[in-house]
């Protein structure tokens, strides 16, 4: 039995799942009742627009925004009839090969505006973009994944034993449905043939239900819904490295036990109900780590630190030595190397924990020695092997820059738990109080003729302080020139940049 632990917190309107590996929280999944993930859901959609220039189409699946469908994610009608109501395996071409549409195939040859189509959400909506969908449906079970529109099955690459791979491949060939393909997940390692066959039968039945519902109407509708977060976590994350799954909700606990009894009866006793008085995430030290993970500045144990800035198109991570000067280092290069090695340890952790995806630029501290750069790159690449998301890293430049990409499948933790600041509009900056004071003086000069008598200005206390110091002389000069007194009324409830000019009462 492994040392890892899954902790599930079910709260009002929000469910959180933390994966703890060797005492460290490496993943945090959050699902809100009002914002439940739709990735994995299958919908009856309708093609609303075909864009030949983009080799793509938009599909109305009854969601808030139309979904994006690329030509390579479309199933040929002559190869697989998603538009009928036949059960999988029926028809004269049941054993025919399913050909994936080429990226070069003109999209209007394979899809038309107005036609119905069954699609699965492969990537949820991110930012202002709608979700991405595919007609190549993939249904996950405990041990297997069933792909009814594919003819290429196989065994997870994470299963490294050649004997086990051969055993699983032999079983898959025997239990494969008449149409489609099966993939053995990592959890299939060591699973009995009976367990795999039961999984295959369940998934084939699920696909039959999807096709039946598809043929019942033409309106956009949900045909298949992925499991909720606690059940999904148990199905996908519980393996031989996980010693326990602990949950603090009795209702979800019973659902988990029911799922385990059906899909993984040997792990039934590893699912525990937490009944302590202290909130479960407090008891396991998770709340404090969440706050650390969301900070812009992340301290390193040696005294160095990272600065993480996540923009719309990319994430930049800057490495700084801070107070770290090394302990017994022969020269500055040793100190820099030690800091960069420590930094990539933290970076690999932060990428996974925050679920940062897309383009990422790492600004490491410049290293003069090629051997130092190779050591840092080797450490980074080794650490990224443990990341479930696909990553690609470009070699480090002589200036210490590393460009990399990480698969983006859902919103990052920061974007999910944060929203743009109403005060600074998400920029992270406001105008300085001196700038606001000077703007105020210009406004007074522009509009003082609109007031017959003296003027009152309602403004933030920090801006009012400027007029007691460097801004006092300009304000007096204005009063002397216009013959009007200006009374300052400090109000801390307003925005630093906001002020109100009115006639004095």
Split at pLDDT 50, 70, 90, the class of 422 is confident
pLDDT of residue 69: 96
331: exposed, middle or buried (Cβ count in 10 Å: 0-12, 13-18, 19+): exposed
Per-residue pLDDT at 358 exceeds 80: yes
Q: How many CA atoms lie within 13 A of 144 on its CB side?
A: 31
Per-residue pLDDT at 450 exceeds 50: yes
Higher pLDDT, 332 or 123: 123
H or E element that contains 298: strand 297-299
Per-residue pLDDT averaged across 100-117, rounded? 88
Q: Whole-angstrom Cα distance, residue 482 to residue 476?
A: 10
Per-residue pLDDT at 157 exceeds 60: yes
Q: Whole-angstrom Cα distance, residue 476 to residue 461?
A: 19
pLDDT of residue 88: 35
DSSP symbol at 182: E
Name the token pair of 280: 């479960």
Q: Any idea of the CA torsion for 462, 468, 474, 479, to the nearest 10 degrees? A: 110
Per-residue pLDDT at 391 exceeds 50: yes
> Shortest CA distance to 486 belongs to which of 469, 472, 465, 470?
472
Per-residue pLDDT averaged across 384-398, rounded? 85
Per-residue pLDDT at 5 exceeds 90: yes
414-421 contacts, C-beta under 8 A, 24 or more apart: 414/294, 414/310, 414/354, 414/356, 415/127, 415/310, 416/30, 417/30, 417/290, 417/294, 418/294
Split at pLDDT 50, 70, 90, the class of 262 is confident
> Shortest CA distance to 479 belongs to which of 461, 505, 456?
456
Residue pair 306/313 in contact by the 8 Å Cβ criterion: no
Question: Which residue shows structure tokens 């479960």?
Answer: 280
Strands annotated E in 311-442: 314-320, 358-363, 391-393, 401-406
Q: Whole-angstrom Cα distance, residue 84 to residue 116?
A: 10
Instruction: Name the most confidently modeled range: 81-95, 394-408, 477-491.
Output: 477-491
pLDDT of residue 135: 93
Per-residue pLDDT at 326 exceeds 60: no
Per-residue pLDDT at 459 exceeds 90: yes
Higher pLDDT, 1 or 258: 258
Higher pLDDT, 28 or 79: 28
Lowest mean per-residue pLDDT among 124-128, 235-239, 284-288: 124-128
Split at pLDDT 50, 70, 90, the class of 288 is confident
pLDDT of residue 395: 83
Higher pLDDT, 244 or 330: 244
* CA distances to 57, 119, 341 from 47, in Å: 7, 11, 50
Percent of the chain with pLDDT over 70: 92
pLDDT of residue 149: 87
Question: What structural domains does the chain harbor?
Answer: 4-36+230-287 (3.30.420.60), 42-224 (2.40.50.140), 295-417 (3.40.630), 433-503 (3.40.1260.20)
- Give me the chain's average pLDDT, please: 87
pLDDT of residue 416: 77
pLDDT in tens, 197-246: 989 988 999 999 999 999 888 899 999 999 999 999 998 888 778 889 99
Strand order in the sheet with 499-503: 486-490, 455-459, 499-503
The residue count for the chain: 505
pLDDT of residue 342: 94
Facing residues of 288 across strands? none
> Shortest CA distance to 67 belongs to which of 11, 129, 23?
129
pLDDT of residue 94: 35
pLDDT of residue 493: 87
pLDDT of residue 167: 96
* C-alpha 214: how far from chain center: 30
pLDDT of residue 92: 33
Higher pLDDT, 330 or 501: 501
DSSP string computed for 103-160:
TTS-GGGT--TT-EEEEEEEE--BTTB--EEESS--EE-SSEEEETT-S--EE-TT--
192: exposed, middle or buried (Cβ count in 10 Å: 0-12, 13-18, 19+): exposed
Q: Any idea of the CA torsion for 276, 25, 8, 125, to the nearest 10 degrees? A: 150
- Using H for helix, E for strand and C for coil, what is the string for 39-76? CCCEEEEEEEEEECCCCEEEEECCCCCCEEEEHHHCEC
Q: How many CA atoms lie within 13 A of 70 on its CB side?
A: 10
Per-residue pLDDT at 313 exceeds 90: no
pLDDT of residue 229: 92
pLDDT of residue 324: 58
> Shortest CA distance to 190 belongs to which of 228, 143, 226, 252?
143
Taking residue 130's Cβ as centre, other Cβ atoms within 10 Å add up to 19
Cβ within 8 Å of residue 434, ≥6 positions away:
466, 470, 471
Lowest mean per-residue pLDDT among 238-242, 278-282, 355-359: 238-242
pLDDT in tens, 82-106: 444 333 333 333 344 555 688 888 9
Per-residue pLDDT at 79 exceeds 60: no
pLDDT of residue 250: 95
pLDDT of residue 96: 41
Lowest mean per-residue pLDDT among 91-105, 254-268, 308-322, 384-398: 91-105
Name the token pair of 347: 């970076």
* CA distances to 20, 96, 123, 272, 462 from 241, in Å: 11, 40, 28, 16, 56
Split at pLDDT 50, 70, 90, the class of 25 is confident
Name the token pair of 398: 């002589």
């Amino acid at each position: 039995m492994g040392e890892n632990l899954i902790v599930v917190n079910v709260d009002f309107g929000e469910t959180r799942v933390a994966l703890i590996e060797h005492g460290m929280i490496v993943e945090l999944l959050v699902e809100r009742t009002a914002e439940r993930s739709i990735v994995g859901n299958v919908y009856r959609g309708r093609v609303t627009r075909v864009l030949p220039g983009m080799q793509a189409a938009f599909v109305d699946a009854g969601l808030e925004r139309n979904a994006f469908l690329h030509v390579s994610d479309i199933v040929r009608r002559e190869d697989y009839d998603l538009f009928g109501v036949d059960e999988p395996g029926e028809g004269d071409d049941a054993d025919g090969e399913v050909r994936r549409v080429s990226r070069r195939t003109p999209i209007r040859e394979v899809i038309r505006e107005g036609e119905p189509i069954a699609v699965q959400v492969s990537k949820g909506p991110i930012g202002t973009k709608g979700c991405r969908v595919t007609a190549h449906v993939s249904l996950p079970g405990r041990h297997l994944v069933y792909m009814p529109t594919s003819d290429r099955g196989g065994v997870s690459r994470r299963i490294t034993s050649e004997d086990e791979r051969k055993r699983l491949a032999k079983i898959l060939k025997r239990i494969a449905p008449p149409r489609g393909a099966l993939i053995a997940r990592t959890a299939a390692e060591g699973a009995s043939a009976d367990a795999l066959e039961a999984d295959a039968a369940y998934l084939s039945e699920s696909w039959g239900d999807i096709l039946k519902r598809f043929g019942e109407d033409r309106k956009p509708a949900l045909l298949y819904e992925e499991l909720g977060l606690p059940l999904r976590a148990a199905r996908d994350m519980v393996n031989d490295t996980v010693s326990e799954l602990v949950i603090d909700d009795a209702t979800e606990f019973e659902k988990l036990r029911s799922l385990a009894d059906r899909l993984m009866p040997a792990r039934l006793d590893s699912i525990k109900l937490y009944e302590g008085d202290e909130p479960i995430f407090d008891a396991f030290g998770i709340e404090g780590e969440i706050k650390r993970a969301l900070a812009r500045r992340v301290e390193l144990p040696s005294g160095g630190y990272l600065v993480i800035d996540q923009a719309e198109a990319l994430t930049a991570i800057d490495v700084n030595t801070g107070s770290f000067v090394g302990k017994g280092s022969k020269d500055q290069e040793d100190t820099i190397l030690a800091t960069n090695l420590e930094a990539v340890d933290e970076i690999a952790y932060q990428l996974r924990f925050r679920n940062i995806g897309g383009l990422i630029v790492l600004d490491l501290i410049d290293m003069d020695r090629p051997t130092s750069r190779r050591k840092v790159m080797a450490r980074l690449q080794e650490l990224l092997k443990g990341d479930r998301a696909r990553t690609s890293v470009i070699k480090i430049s002589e200036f210490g820059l590393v460009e990399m990409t990480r698969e983006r499948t859902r919103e990052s933790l920061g974007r999910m738990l944060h929203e743009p600041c109403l005060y600074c509009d998400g920029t992270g900056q406001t105008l300085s109080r001196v700038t606001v004071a000077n703007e105020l003086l210009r406004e007074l000069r522009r509009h003082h003729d609109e007031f017959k008598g003296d003027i009152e200005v309602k403004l933030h206390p920090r801006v009012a302080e400027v007029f007691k110091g460097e801004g006092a002389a300009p304000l007096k000069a204005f009063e002397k020139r216009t013959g009007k007194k200006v009374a300052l009324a400090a109000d801390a409830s307003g925005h630093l940049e906001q002020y109100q000019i009115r006639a004095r009462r």
